[in-house]
Structure 1
């Protein structure tokens, strides 16, 4: 992300390759990136670490630090979701465009994954600016455990079921 920003603002002297021009009415084929799955898995590791760090703050009774950590986690998650939707799902859906059965399965999976992501984002929004009295702490801990389970479920399903489809294409 930093590298992209550096290039956009002219701070990166490495030459860039311009994407092919867009042709009106012509669908541009998404490009395969052999490093993408590794990058997405790295994002997963980072996200799990950030989420666990938030849990550690509760153990250390550092509740006032949680909102800032949640905002950082949300920002990282949204960047990951954007990359996943634009680069991963678009490519897989494009390569399966003539296979209606598998395309339908991928689209269903994508909707399910986006639903899980919305649940995680809603959790962050709920607590990112709150104060934590005893009732809010108890609610946070229950929600934290529930969201953590959703996050783990999403990551495992993507890495075990979806990412191999990208690598096989």
Structure 2
């Protein structure tokens, strides 16, 4: 896909990309079903029993694929495991960035989050990711704090935003 990875942190991980492309080539219908379903992944939360992390992916589409946005939460709650950086993850392909797709997708995700029971969602981005910062703020996000996150290197500073679902 023209230099794009579904996980921007792994955009140079050839093994990950090849695994995804192999799955796509092998069975396009199964690959599509996997990306469109409520993917449920068992995850350990501290010393308690594993819980299910629900990831609800949505494609960003303008007649062609633009990227994706995902709402994440633990089954039966709006909480997250410590290793998951925020309720929302998104990525737009480089050749369609800067057109407002991520902002619109985030705005459209708010009623979905509200229907699940959220009053606000948490979104995290790297401190130096000015494009994501603008996306989140344009969608109504308010900076809560700057800190590190367990999902990343202790040298990477993150911006933590709260975004109400009633906007």
So what's the TM-score if we normalise by structure 1?
0.23
User: Which structure has the larger Rg over C-alpha atoms?
Assistant: 1
So what's the TM-score if we normalise by structure 2?
0.24
The structure with the largest helix share of the pair is: 1
